[in-house]
Structure 1
């Protein structure tokens, strides 16, 4: 990836995440009950965030497997779409002609420092070569909707059941 492309992606991610960061600076009076447990009002938004993030990444993975560039693009936050348009079908892009996705599975969803972090395991074939890679998607809320704000190599290990 070229230096200029990295800068564009970095600026796009920062701009996409700025509203989330500013929202986090607000005064949160519902941090939990006196005994330290989370209140019901906190659990509902957290569950919605996990569900919506999973849905966005699942839709992206399905678009990837179906080689539907437009459907993949529609899952991304607006600032990332221009970079996606130039890179998605390039030689190393997610939707490159010589890649075939045989398996794509979400392995973990959790709250991260820049939004919801959705880890996925993707098995890709290029000719006779097959490789499985871990990807980490960052999903944020923009207004009333959710979108993918970033994609990077790696991912989180699955959390044990019942772990927040």
Structure 2
């Protein structure tokens, strides 16, 4: 009888302790899901920081503020930017006006966040809208634009011989 009593006590103790042990391992229900949140936070931060950098660059391009545009780029691009930004086909050329520029999409890419934009450029009496893709990456503890490239097919209604701002990179 003593062994039966002992078995019952061990079984009861195991049944009481098992849910506590499983909860400590994260296997029990009812708790928050802390493992799911950390994976989302970096992706959300990357999208937010990428949007901020590209929007600041677009605002600088619209305002013809070369220094503000340069400050959004990664240090590796500064020399090329300095040589071409205000040149005849540069993003900050005096004869280009940018009446409208908008971010259309943000995605993760092989080299960082790819931020798609639609930029309307006016030169003289002609206005064209062109898609561009900016690559934004983390450089040390800060985010910066690491590249700019044409993005896909021209927007509807744009002429193939229209004026296109050249990449800053």
**Normalised TM-score (structure 1):** 0.71
Name the CA distance, whole Å, in 1 between partners of 2:150 and 2:126.
19
For the aligned residue pairs, the C-alpha RMSD in angstroms reads 1.6
What do the CA deviations read for 1:50-107 (whole angstroms, capped 9, x no partner)? 0000000000000000000000000000000100000000000000110000000000
SS of 2:101's partner is strand
Structure 2 portions without partners, runs of 5+: 1-32, 154-169
Please state how far the C-alpha of 1:129 moved relative to its aligned partner: 0.7
Name the CA distance, whole Å, in 1 between partners of 2:136 and 2:152.
13
1:145 aligns with 2:145: no
Which of these two proteins has the greater Rg computed from alpha carbons? 2
Count how many residue pairs are aligned between Structure 1 and Structure 2: 120
1:136 aligns to what?
133
Please state how far the C-alpha of 1:155 moved relative to its aligned partner: 5.2
1:81 aligns with 2:78: yes
- Structure 1 runs (4+) deviating above 2 angstroms are none
2:110 aligns to what?
113
1:64 aligns with 2:61: yes
**Normalised TM-score (structure 2):** 0.69
